[in-house]
Amino acid sequence: MNTQLLIQLLVNGLVVGTLYGVVAMSFVLIYKATQVVNFAQGELLLIGAWVCWWLLTKYQVPFYLGMPITLVFMFVFGIAIQVVILRPMIGEPIISVIMVTIALSTVFSALMKWIFGVNLQPFPRIFTTQNVNILGLQVQTVYLMSLAVSLAMMVGMAWFFRLSKYGLAMRATAFNQQVAQSLGISVKSVFAMAWAISATVSAVAGVVVAVVNGVSAGLSAYGVKVFPAAILGGLDSVGGAVLGGIIIGLLENFAHFLDSEYLHWGNLYEIAPFYALIIILMIKPYGLFGTKDIERV
Amino acid sequence: MATQTLIPAGDFRTTYAADTTVFPTRTSRNAMIVGIILICFAPQVLNEYTLSLLIQIGIFGIAALGLNIVVGFTGQISIGHAAFFGFGAFTSAYLSNRFGIPVFFCIPLAGIVTAGVGLIFGLPAARLKGLYLAIATLAAQYILLDFFARAEWFTGGSVPASAEAFSIFGYSLRGDKKYFYVVLAYVIICYLLVTNLIRSRDGRALVAVRDHYLSAEIMGINLTKYRTLSFGLAAFFAGVGGALYAHYNQVVSNEGFGIDRSIIFLAMIIIGGIGSVAGTLMGTAFMVLLPESMEWLSVALRGSPIDTVLGLKNNIAFLREMAIGLIIIVFLVFEPDGLAHRWRRIKAYWKLYPFSH
């Protein structure tokens, strides 16, 4: 057994998994606050990464300036999507809302391909040192950065929900919209804020992935991997989404290990999360931490 | 009650027979029969290109009809329809190549096999509903696509599988002009089947599951059975459509059964009208003609300033994708009942023409 490879892959899985966790977290945020399943989450990553890449290469903006501009742009963009497209859909059947987000993802991915092309574009180098040696393992600096950024975003999100006033308003809205409204919370602005925060957080994840792998249309695949992660953790649990993301990331890389060492089926790591998804849906559809909703007539 | 030539004002229906009738008036039935007879002459009149468009409308129309059973009549969401379409195509090619079964029998057989696969992936429907089910079908899409790439004995892997031409009693129906009649026959049979399904006991049960599943269950409708059944039926029509597609192109490659095709199928029924049998065909026609008309437009605009700004020649594929997404959004926001509803409105307007309002 190739222990070195296994450890390398598990570290990889942890890094990718925390990124999945961050994306799943922003996905769950939208679902929890506005009851919208966002099939365009991956495209939000893509847009954030492309905008940042464009600022950095075309206008030679330094990274410490380009990143905040990207985040501000994505914040406004998130609000714009909610106000222009999803606000008229409030009260429509769930299938229409899902279809709107699917259509949005088609539009955005085609738009990005049209503007920026289909080829992989390398991201400008941000770090001077390539590798760091930790306990005898060569770890790329960008991986450490990715892990640190993901953890920082999770902590930030936890702080936001537990201690800030807006976070409280959001939790109240998620719990019961009518009661929240009667307590003076503007549900409209909470909805818009949920989209804005989700878009911003996704953009950070998108930039991180872009720094590691470069920017291409394939980045939106992260939006599809969100589903196994979010379902495993429970669709309405922010913490569960993070855990689900890490588990899916580890599972993916473990499948890759099994595949390359023993099975030799090829591409197993791409499809393993979806088998996991089906199994979870069959045995425990509400996930690890999701609330089992009670139906009343 | 004798069939009338015009619907009376107020549209009273006093019997169940009148309520479930396919054609409300004698005129509408005669118009349909005349229409079918007229379209039989299409291969003699139209050129190959127009015929190929009509054939595509027919093939995709059958598959979209299956999707409309799940989405429109049972109220479940399926994002994996293209995978079943592809499965039908591969199954039919496999059956005719491997076992030498005549293509005539392969097409319905492919439908039945695909229905079996649909039932397997419909099993989560026993416990899930709404968006959980949508996500399950999304997983089905990826798993089936992976299977197509993996199972070389079945699909030929990276080499496209070949499919024989359609033949009946040793008489080969090769080419658009002859194949048109095969597709036409299947379209008529499938649309008649589904129209009658909706009038039957099972069809009403499906609609009841859509409208309020708890009430349906209380009235004695077996939710699990009908949800799974609707997936099986949808996969059956997807399989038949896919088989027709395989024998039309006579080659089945791994491409074209991805999630983007599934989204196009969803767009077809949304544009046509969710839960409308006739609307499905309208929506399919719209979605088949949309990329073609964009192609014509780009040819017409070649060399003009718009062309140089947009770079139409190289980017037409992306513009097409965007148009599909935008059309879905526009229809969902402004015309959620689809073209079928618009058609009814137009008919209602002309009925009282000079004196409407």
Alpha-carbon span A174 to A168, nearest angstrom: 10
What does the pLDDT read at residue A297? 40
Alpha-carbon span A143 to A140, nearest angstrom: 5
Helix (H, G, I), strand (E, B) or coil at B36: helix
CB contact (8 A) between residue A105 and residue B325: yes
What does the pLDDT read at residue B84? 93
Owner of token pair 């009343």: A296
pLDDT higher than threshold 50 for residue A296: no
Q: How confident is residue A136, by pLDDT bands cut at 50, 70 and 90?
A: low
pLDDT higher than threshold 90 for residue A216: no
Q: Please report residues of A whose CB lies closer than 8 A to that of B142.
A: 224, 271, 274
CB contact (8 A) between residue B266 and residue A102: yes
Comparing B355 with B341, the larger pLDDT belongs to: B341
A195-199, B58-62, B141-145, B160-164: the lowest-pLDDT one: B160-164
Alpha-carbon span A157 to A205, nearest angstrom: 14
Nearest CB to A94 within list B130, B146, B324: B130
Alpha-helix residue ranges (DSSP H) falling in chain A: 3-34, 41-58, 63-81, 94-116, 141-163, 165-175, 177-182, 187-213, 221-233, 238-258, 268-283
pLDDT higher than threshold 60 for residue B2: no
Q: A185 is written with which tokens? A: 């919370």
Q: How confident is residue B299, by pLDDT bands cut at 50, 70 and 90?
A: confident
Distance from the B272 Cα atom to the nearest Cα atom in chain A, whole angstroms: 14
What does the pLDDT read at residue B4? 59
Can you name the residues that pair with B4 across neighbouring β-strands? B25
Closest by CA to A6, choosing from A261, A239, A183, A200, is A261
Q: Is A282 on the interface with B (CB under 8 A)?
A: yes
Nearest CB to A106 within list B127, B149, B324: B324
pLDDT higher than threshold 60 for residue A73: yes
Percentage, residues of chain B above pLDDT 70: 90
CA A183 to chain centre: 31
Q: How far is CA A142 from CA A138, A239, B55, B132, in A?
A: 12, 25, 53, 35
Cβ atoms < 10 Å from Cβ of B320: 16
Q: How confident is residue B66, by pLDDT bands cut at 50, 70 and 90?
A: very high
Q: Please report residues of B whose CB lies closer than 8 A to that of A89.
A: 332-333
Distance from the A63 Cα atom to the nearest Cα atom in chain B, whole angstroms: 30
Closest by CA to A28, choosing from A18, A19, A20, A37, is A37
Phi, psi of A284 (to 5 degrees): -150, 70
Q: What is the pTM assigned to this prediction? A: 0.87
Q: How confident is residue B7, by pLDDT bands cut at 50, 70 and 90?
A: low
Alpha-carbon span A216 to A210, nearest angstrom: 8
Can you name the residues that pair with B252 across neighbouring β-strands? B161
pLDDT tens digits, B104-147:
888 889 999 999 998 888 887 667 766 778 888 888 898 888 88
pLDDT higher than threshold 60 for residue A294: no
Q: Please report residues of B whose CB lies closer than 8 A to that of A103.
A: 263, 267, 324-326, 328-329, 332
Contact B190, B65 (CB under 8 A): yes
What does the pLDDT read at residue B24? 73
Alpha-carbon span A223 to A104, nearest angstrom: 13
Q: Is A99 on the interface with B (CB under 8 A)?
A: yes
Q: Give the containing element (helix H, strand E) for B136.
A: helix B130-150
Comparing A74 with A132, the larger pLDDT belongs to: A74
pLDDT higher than threshold 80 for residue B15: no
Alpha-carbon span B195 to A261, nearest angstrom: 54
pLDDT tens digits, B195-245:
888 888 888 898 898 888 888 889 888 888 888 888 899 999 999 999 999
Average per-residue pLDDT for chain A: 84
Distance from the A291 Cα atom to the nearest Cα atom in chain B, whole angstroms: 14
B64: amino acid identity, one letter: A
pLDDT tens digits, B142-198:
888 888 888 777 777 667 777 777 777 667 767 778 888 888 999 999 998 998 888
What does the pLDDT read at residue A295? 47
Q: How confident is residue A1, by pLDDT bands cut at 50, 70 and 90?
A: low
CB contact (8 A) between residue A98 and residue B134: yes
Q: Please report residues of B whose CB lies closer than 8 A to that of A281.
A: 124, 127-128, 132, 135-136, 139
Q: How far is CA B207 from CA A218, B197, B275, in A?
A: 39, 11, 9
Owner of token pair 């949005």: A104
